[in-house]
Amino acid sequence: MLWIKSFHIVFIASWFAGLFYLPRIFVNLAMVPPQSTAERERLILMARKLMRFTTVLAVPAIALGLWLYLGYGIGRGPGSYWMHAKLAVVLLVIGYHHACGRMLAKFVANRNTRSHVWLRVFNEVPVLLLVAAVILVVVKPF
Protein backbone atom coordinates (compact mmCIF):
# COMPACT_ATOMS: atom_id res chain seq x y z
CA MET A 1 0.00 0.00 0.00
CA LEU A 2 2.87 2.42 0.72
CA TRP A 3 4.13 2.01 -2.86
CA ILE A 4 0.71 2.91 -4.21
CA LYS A 5 0.51 5.93 -1.89
CA SER A 6 3.98 7.05 -2.96
CA PHE A 7 3.21 6.86 -6.66
CA HIS A 8 -0.17 8.50 -6.09
CA ILE A 9 1.58 11.47 -4.47
CA VAL A 10 4.18 11.66 -7.27
CA PHE A 11 1.52 11.65 -9.99
CA ILE A 12 -0.63 14.17 -8.12
CA ALA A 13 2.35 16.52 -7.73
CA SER A 14 3.21 16.14 -11.42
CA TRP A 15 -0.40 16.66 -12.51
CA PHE A 16 -0.64 19.82 -10.44
CA ALA A 17 2.65 21.11 -11.81
CA GLY A 18 1.03 21.06 -15.24
CA LEU A 19 -2.15 22.69 -13.91
CA PHE A 20 -0.04 25.42 -12.31
CA TYR A 21 1.84 26.24 -15.52
CA LEU A 22 -0.72 25.73 -18.30
CA PRO A 23 -2.86 28.76 -17.34
CA ARG A 24 0.34 30.80 -17.13
CA ILE A 25 0.89 30.02 -20.81
CA PHE A 26 -2.70 31.21 -21.39
CA VAL A 27 -1.82 34.52 -19.69
CA ASN A 28 1.11 34.92 -22.07
CA LEU A 29 -1.08 34.00 -25.05
CA ALA A 30 -3.64 36.62 -24.08
CA MET A 31 -0.88 39.24 -24.06
CA VAL A 32 0.59 38.37 -27.49
CA PRO A 33 0.17 41.22 -29.97
CA PRO A 34 -1.98 40.26 -33.00
CA GLN A 35 0.92 40.67 -35.45
CA SER A 36 3.19 38.29 -33.51
CA THR A 37 2.09 35.01 -35.09
CA ALA A 38 5.38 33.19 -34.45
CA GLU A 39 5.17 33.88 -30.72
CA ARG A 40 1.51 32.84 -30.65
CA GLU A 41 2.21 29.59 -32.49
CA ARG A 42 5.12 28.76 -30.17
CA LEU A 43 2.95 29.31 -27.09
CA ILE A 44 0.11 27.26 -28.62
CA LEU A 45 2.57 24.41 -29.26
CA MET A 46 3.83 24.60 -25.67
CA ALA A 47 0.28 24.63 -24.30
CA ARG A 48 -0.78 21.67 -26.43
CA LYS A 49 2.19 19.59 -25.34
CA LEU A 50 1.72 20.51 -21.69
CA MET A 51 -2.01 19.74 -21.84
CA ARG A 52 -1.29 16.33 -23.35
CA PHE A 53 1.41 15.58 -20.76
CA THR A 54 -0.76 16.82 -17.89
CA THR A 55 -3.65 14.64 -19.02
CA VAL A 56 -1.36 11.60 -19.18
CA LEU A 57 -0.27 12.33 -15.58
CA ALA A 58 -3.85 12.77 -14.36
CA VAL A 59 -4.88 9.26 -15.35
CA PRO A 60 -2.55 7.30 -13.02
CA ALA A 61 -3.06 9.91 -10.27
CA ILE A 62 -6.80 9.27 -10.32
CA ALA A 63 -6.43 5.50 -10.83
CA LEU A 64 -4.04 5.14 -7.90
CA GLY A 65 -6.33 7.25 -5.72
CA LEU A 66 -9.25 5.01 -6.60
CA TRP A 67 -7.10 1.96 -5.83
CA LEU A 68 -6.34 3.36 -2.37
CA TYR A 69 -10.00 4.24 -1.79
CA LEU A 70 -11.68 1.14 -3.19
CA GLY A 71 -8.93 -1.45 -2.78
CA TYR A 72 -7.59 -0.54 0.65
CA GLY A 73 -10.59 1.28 2.08
CA ILE A 74 -8.66 4.45 2.87
CA GLY A 75 -11.18 7.12 3.77
CA ARG A 76 -14.09 4.72 4.07
CA GLY A 77 -15.99 3.88 7.19
CA PRO A 78 -17.23 5.86 10.17
CA GLY A 79 -15.75 9.32 10.62
CA SER A 80 -14.49 9.59 7.06
CA TYR A 81 -16.37 12.74 6.11
CA TRP A 82 -13.05 14.35 5.22
CA MET A 83 -12.79 11.90 2.32
CA HIS A 84 -16.15 12.98 0.93
CA ALA A 85 -14.93 16.57 0.92
CA LYS A 86 -11.63 15.50 -0.65
CA LEU A 87 -13.45 13.63 -3.40
CA ALA A 88 -15.44 16.80 -4.08
CA VAL A 89 -12.13 18.67 -4.40
CA VAL A 90 -10.87 15.99 -6.81
CA LEU A 91 -13.99 16.50 -8.95
CA LEU A 92 -13.27 20.23 -8.97
CA VAL A 93 -9.68 19.56 -10.06
CA ILE A 94 -10.92 17.33 -12.89
CA GLY A 95 -13.35 20.09 -13.88
CA TYR A 96 -10.53 22.65 -13.81
CA HIS A 97 -8.43 20.37 -16.02
CA HIS A 98 -11.34 20.10 -18.45
CA ALA A 99 -11.80 23.89 -18.41
CA CYS A 100 -8.11 24.27 -19.33
CA GLY A 101 -8.68 21.98 -22.30
CA ARG A 102 -11.64 24.07 -23.45
CA MET A 103 -9.64 27.28 -23.07
CA LEU A 104 -6.80 25.79 -25.08
CA ALA A 105 -9.25 24.91 -27.86
CA LYS A 106 -10.44 28.53 -27.87
CA PHE A 107 -6.87 29.82 -28.09
CA VAL A 108 -6.13 27.40 -30.95
CA ALA A 109 -9.24 28.63 -32.80
CA ASN A 110 -8.22 32.23 -32.00
CA ARG A 111 -11.53 32.76 -30.14
CA ASN A 112 -10.30 33.58 -26.65
CA THR A 113 -12.39 36.26 -24.95
CA ARG A 114 -10.67 36.22 -21.55
CA SER A 115 -8.27 38.97 -20.50
CA HIS A 116 -4.81 38.27 -19.14
CA VAL A 117 -6.04 39.63 -15.77
CA TRP A 118 -8.91 37.11 -15.64
CA LEU A 119 -6.49 34.34 -16.60
CA ARG A 120 -4.10 35.38 -13.82
CA VAL A 121 -6.90 34.88 -11.29
CA PHE A 122 -7.89 31.59 -12.95
CA ASN A 123 -4.25 30.53 -12.60
CA GLU A 124 -4.55 30.64 -8.79
CA VAL A 125 -7.44 28.15 -8.57
CA PRO A 126 -5.32 24.94 -8.57
CA VAL A 127 -3.23 26.30 -5.68
CA LEU A 128 -6.37 26.68 -3.59
CA LEU A 129 -7.61 23.23 -4.60
CA LEU A 130 -4.30 21.61 -3.70
CA VAL A 131 -4.22 23.36 -0.31
CA ALA A 132 -7.77 22.17 0.39
CA ALA A 133 -6.97 18.57 -0.58
CA VAL A 134 -3.78 18.44 1.50
CA ILE A 135 -5.51 19.89 4.56
CA LEU A 136 -8.37 17.43 4.23
CA VAL A 137 -6.02 14.43 3.93
CA VAL A 138 -3.51 15.44 6.61
CA VAL A 139 -5.66 17.25 9.21
CA LYS A 140 -8.89 15.30 8.58
CA PRO A 141 -10.94 18.14 10.10
CA PHE A 142 -14.18 16.15 10.09
Mean of the pLDDT values across residues 125-140? 97
Per-residue pLDDT at 72: 87
Answer for the pair 126, 20: CB distance below 8 angstroms, yes or no: yes
The chain-wide mean pLDDT, for the chain, equals: 96
Backbone phi, then psi, for 129, in 5-degree steps? -65, -40
Query: Residue 111: what residue type?
Result: R
**Residue 99's domain spans which residues?**
2-139
Question: What is the Cβ-side half-sphere exposure of residue 126, based on CA atoms within 13 angstroms?
Answer: 24
Per-residue pLDDT at 84: 94
* Reported confidence tier of residue 76, pLDDT bands at 50, 70, 90: confident
Answer for the pair 47, 22: CB distance below 8 angstroms, yes or no: yes
Q: What is the total count of domains within the chain?
A: 1
Per-residue pLDDT at 133: 97
Answer for the pair 32, 103: CB distance below 8 angstroms, yes or no: no
* Reported confidence tier of residue 66, pLDDT bands at 50, 70, 90: very high
* Reported confidence tier of residue 75, pLDDT bands at 50, 70, 90: confident
pLDDT tops 90 at residue 141: yes
